[in-house]
Chains A and B, each alone.
Chain A
Amino acid sequence: MIVADLKPVGEIAESISPFQKVSIVACGGCVSVCLTGGASSADTLARELSHPRHYKERPPILATTTIQRQCEKDFVTAYLNLPRDTDAILSMACGAGVQTLAEIFGKVPILPALNTSFLGSLDEPGVWREKCQGCGSCVLAFTGGICPVTRCAKHLLNGPCGGSSNGKCEISKDVDCAWQLIIDRLKALGRLDDYEKIFPIKDWSSDRGGGPRSMQFSSKKT
């Protein structure tokens, strides 16, 4: 899922301080599941942001609402109802949701309440870890289901660098060497032959280096 983190309250308060009536829009998608941008978080944030200590002048009047998926333009257009005199929207969605609102509400400033962090998984209650960078050409079939693009600091595709020591990455003793994990996993699967395969130079044009990416559904693919 997309994992996001709440911005510091002071930063959010500063961004909404020029406005009189602010609608806080929570999202019922990924950010609800990662406990940062759902309806409950919106209520908690609204309570905090309504405190005068965050402002030089009067706090804005705040309203909260939730839309199930803030990143779907037609859905949001049809079902998101805001107070008519809203003069700014504080979005609690990921960056995709914020930009969807910006496209729909041409004359209303859209302010992000969250820092969108990564594509990750819930490894244990309350702990999300990055697992995918959305590079556009997945290699997990050959790496034991462990992504070297995301989990190797150098994005290496053909084994570990010289900085791997006792299963840890040289950048931190708390970071596992992705290639150590991959080799251990391939060994357990009896597929060490996969480790001998040489990956050709990766085509990074499907990554962000090729500009903003898009995808169009086609039933012909299946």
Chain B
Amino acid sequence: MSYFVVNENCNGCLACVENCPANALRFKDTDENRTILHNMAKCVRCANCWRVCPQQAIEFQHFLENEWDEVKSLDLVHCRVCGEPIYTTDLEKTLTGKTGSEIDALCPKHRELDFAARQALVPFRRAA
């Protein structure tokens, strides 16, 4: 997905490139083409490009509202009583390693039940 969206009004004048305080914009001229390049890692989202563009070609709203990127997917552990997702299997491993003891898979609500009451409940099958 792109954050720096330039519409068809752009005429390649380079006002945005020349006025970017973060050096986040460049251009590349080949034989017959001019390409505008944007580097999100350098961009400070100051909106100066949007401000100076004489063509109103920069659609800055994509910096302000955009889609979520999926950055990681992890398996979950569920409360053995009610099935509510509580933490990831990787976090469980980390905590088990640090504490040296097994963690009972219970959500905050069911953790509060006393031991005897918990024993009486039918264990919930762990989700695959």
Contact = CB atoms under 8 A, between A and B. Distances in A.
Name the 7 nearest CB pairs between A and B, nearest first. Answer: A38-B21, A33-B46, A39-B23, A32-B44, A28-B44, A32-B21, A40-B21
A40 B46 CA distance: 13
A32 B46 contact: yes
Contacts of A35: 21, 48
Interface of B: 20-23, 42, 44, 46, 48, 51-52
Contact of B42 (A33, A39, A43): A39
A35 B20 CA distance: 9
Interface in A12-68: 28-29, 32-33, 35, 38-41, 43, 66, 68
B99 to A, nearest CB: 23
A201 to B, nearest CB: 40
Contacts of B42: 28, 39, 66
Which of B21, B22, B48 has the most C-beta atoms of chain A within 10 angstroms of its own C-beta? B21
A38 B44 contact: yes
A183 B71 CA distance: 51
B4 to A, nearest CB: 16
Interface of A: 28-29, 32-33, 35, 38-41, 43, 66, 68, 125
B44 A40 contact: no
A33 B44 CA distance: 7
A40 B51 contact: no
Given A28-B44, A38-B44, A33 B23 contact: no
Which of A35, A39, A43 has the most C-beta atoms of chain B within 10 angstroms of its own C-beta? A39
B19 to A, nearest CB: 8
A40 B42 CA distance: 11
Nearest to A1: B46
A32 B22 contact: yes
9 contacts: A28-B22, A33-B48, A35-B21, A35-B48, A38-B22, A38-B23, A40-B20, A66-B23, A66-B42
Contact of B21 (A33, A68, A125): A33
Contacts of A125: 51-52
A93 to B, nearest CB: 13
A78 to B, nearest CB: 15
B21 A39 contact: yes
Contacts of B48: 33, 35
Contacts of A66: 22-23, 42
A68 B44 CA distance: 8
B17 to A, nearest CB: 10
A29 B43 CA distance: 10
Contacts of A43: 23
Nearest to B25: A40
Nearest to B23: A39
